[in-house]
Amino acid sequence: METTEVVKKSGEGHTSFLRAARAGHLDKIVEHLKNNVDINTSNANGLNGLHLASKDGHLHVVTELLNRGANVDSATKKGNTALHIASLAGQHEVVKCLVENGASVNVQSQNGFTPLYMAAQENHDEVVRYLLDHGANQSLATEDGFTPLAVAMQQGHDKVVAVLLENDTRGKVRLPALHIAAKKDDTKATKLLLENEHNPDVTSKSGFTPLHIASHYGNEAVANILLDKRADVNFSAKHNITPLHVAAKWGKANMVTLLLTRGANIDNKTRDGLTALHCAARSGHEAVIEQLLEHGAPISSKTKNGLAPLHMAAQGDHVDTARVLLFHKAPVDDVTVDYLTALHVAAHCGHARVAKIGSNQIIQLNSVHFSRLLLYHVKFHSSADPTTNSRLGFKRCILSFGSSFLTVCFFRVLFIIKNC
């Protein structure tokens, strides 16, 4: 047989082998391999039998080729591997087989495409989820700077967007997609998710809605979108915490204004009886306190333990906060269920700075409530020795008001206040 004829027949054999791989004809493939056809032979574009079988979802062929030594990461002239091709075609079972046989999950083609990018581009959400679960890096971008999330959003693939967002968390707790969009202030993703029947009040495992998350981070743009889609502005999450409580706690004045404008109930209380004003006072956010008071927040509202916002300011040693509350006529003689005033709280916590402010407004130390407790505590604790620096500082403060050392002893041994 002449050499040209051998080459011709050899070429025909390779072509026939590739056709069999594309068609899923395993028996013909095995026959060609027995006739010494190279298992990694390819056409002019670099496509080999594994690539072609992967594209059309011929799992049995893919498995056989891999078992016989086909290179799982062999690439075409454009740099695409079998995993790229299977991901683009949405061949979930083939993708699993390739990964289980060691295919590189984060391999990039000449243009920077990853298998994850290709699956995201074509809206193959199950393939996307599988690749992410097996180490796919969604931060890898193409030469043009497009990530899998970017292309999914561009194409309007809401299911893929949801999967990518839910897996784009840096901590141990995974949040629903809409929560992640709210956290990132991603208005485009938020709109896309809401347009495709996502519930604006979907809750996380801890019971918080996307509006709670937007309130936490002060993301006003996303909050407006959520509210326009009828998100519940007064949604009570775990422990009856509302978005307004969250915004107040974290000092997000812009969100407080927005929520109040959109109907947030300023009097709502948590399970422990905290209003938004309590939350702002405890965290020392004067601007938020001013906002809440301007909108009629009850300055004397009490928690279940009888703590008023002024108690919270004293507890946190927030001097300016206490000044704001006193300026707005916060009652200085309000007592808790244990007959403790804000001054008592400051004493227990060793916060002399809070006790010193507005000394002319601070409760008279010989009040009826004080005297009752003083007699009891002095009887049992008069030997107490307030030797710590913070207590000594408070001792000097109290003595400057004209009180006796017994008074100082009383403050040294006050009841331990919850949450102090």
**E strands along 68-173, which residues?**
none
Residue 192 or residue 357, greater confidence = 192
Q: Give the mean pLDDT of 136-155.
A: 90
Q: In the beta sheet, which residues pair with residue 42?
A: 48
> Which of the residue ranges 18-22, 302-306, 371-375 would you say has the lowest mean pLDDT?
371-375
**Nearest of 235, 243, 240, 246 to residue 202 by alpha carbon:** 235
Task: Give the orientation angle of helix 59-67 with respect to helix 26-34, to 10 degrees.
Answer: 20
Question: How far is Cα 279 from Cα 272, in angstroms, rounded to an integer?
Answer: 12
Question: How far is Cα 331 from Cα 339, in angstroms, rounded to an integer?
Answer: 14
Residue 1 or residue 197, greater confidence = 197
Q: Give the mean pLDDT of 352-356.
A: 72
User: What percent of the chain has a predicted confidence (pLDDT) above 70?
Assistant: 80
User: What percent of the chain has a predicted confidence (pLDDT) above 90?
Assistant: 61
Residue 246 near residue 270 (C-beta atoms within 8 A): no
Q: Classify burial at 193, counting beta carbons within 10 Å of its beta carbon; exposed 0-12, middle 13-18, buried 19 or more.
A: buried
| Cβ neighbours of residue 10 closer than 8 Å, sequence gap 6 or more | none
Tens of pLDDT, residues 374-397: 433 433 333 444 444 444 554 455
How sure is the predictor about 6, in pLDDT bands with cuts at 50, 70 and 90? very low
| DSSP structural state of residue 48 | B
The predicted structure's pLDDT at residue 47: 96
Q: In the beta sheet, which residues pair with residue 48?
A: 42
Residue 349 near residue 315 (C-beta atoms within 8 A): yes
Q: Give the mean pLDDT of 181-205.
A: 88
How sure is the predictor about 361, in pLDDT bands with cuts at 50, 70 and 90? low
Q: Give the mean pLDDT of 223-229.
A: 97
Q: Classify burial at 45, counting beta carbons within 10 Å of its beta carbon; exposed 0-12, middle 13-18, buried 19 or more.
A: exposed
Residue 176 or residue 59, greater confidence = 59
| Cβ neighbours of residue 329 closer than 8 Å, sequence gap 6 or more | 299
Q: Classify burial at 295, counting beta carbons within 10 Å of its beta carbon; exposed 0-12, middle 13-18, buried 19 or more.
A: middle
The predicted structure's pLDDT at residue 334: 83
> Which of the residue ranges 29-33, 310-314, 334-338 would you say has the lowest mean pLDDT?
334-338
Which tokens belong to 260?
Answer: 């109040």
Which tokens belong to 308?
Answer: 């008023």
Question: How far is Cα 175 from Cα 36, in angstroms, rounded to an integer?
Answer: 54
Output the DSSP codes for 213-250.
HHHHHT-HHHHHHHHHTT--TT---GGG--HHHHHHHT
The predicted structure's pLDDT at residue 11: 56
Buried b (16+ CB within 10 A) or exposed e, 95-116: bbbbbebebebebbbeeebbbb
